[in-house]
Amino acid sequence: MEEEKSTAYLALLEAYREELENVDKQIIYIQALVNDYTRAKMTVEKLNEVDEETEILVPIGGGVFIPMKVKKGVKALVSEGADVFIEGSLDYAGEAIQRKIDELNEGLTRLNDIANQIRQKMEEISEKLQEERKDV
């Protein structure tokens, strides 16, 4: 009977371990998105500081930059989802990016809470397993 309990606890512990691994992968992915949006926001802020016509290097990803000439007051196209883009000022683009960063950070907070709950459950199960082994 005690061995069945131990087996059940071990199976539950393994299930939680897999769930925690999946949550950790989601956290890493969302953190990468936050980093990407943060770089985009920094780029928009720098573009907003240019005087008259200035040549800049625009990052397009993968360590590739394109030299471009930018004029003060340049507009940006901001993705609002599902192939919908809104043309707006660089200030608007920066605000839109910040909203996305905030949403992603809220998601990160929720995922970290979930990960902590899973870790707590895993610890409880580990303690129960240790108690079972002491009784044997």
Which alpha helices (H) appear in 49-136, and where do they start and end?
90-135
Total domains in the chain come to 1
Hey, what are 84's tokens? 């919908």
Instruction: Provide the 3-class DSSP secondary structure of residue 1.
Output: coil
Q: Are 92 and 41 in contact (CB under 8 A)?
A: no
- Domain with 49, as residue range(s), is 2-135
Q: Are 74 and 90 in contact (CB under 8 A)?
A: yes
Per-residue exposure over 106-129, b if at least 16 CB sit within 10 Å of its own CB, e if not: eebeebeeebeebeeebeebeeeb
Domain CATH number, residue 13: 1.10.287.370
Q: State residue 74 phi and psi, 5-degree precision.
A: -60, 145
- How large is the average pLDDT for residues 12-34? 97
Q: Per-residue pLDDT tens for 46-58?
A: 888 887 788 888 8
Q: Which pLDDT value is given to residue 65?
A: 92
Hey, what are 2's tokens? 């005690």
Least confident of 76-80, 93-97, 107-111: 76-80
- How large is the average pLDDT for residues 75-103? 94
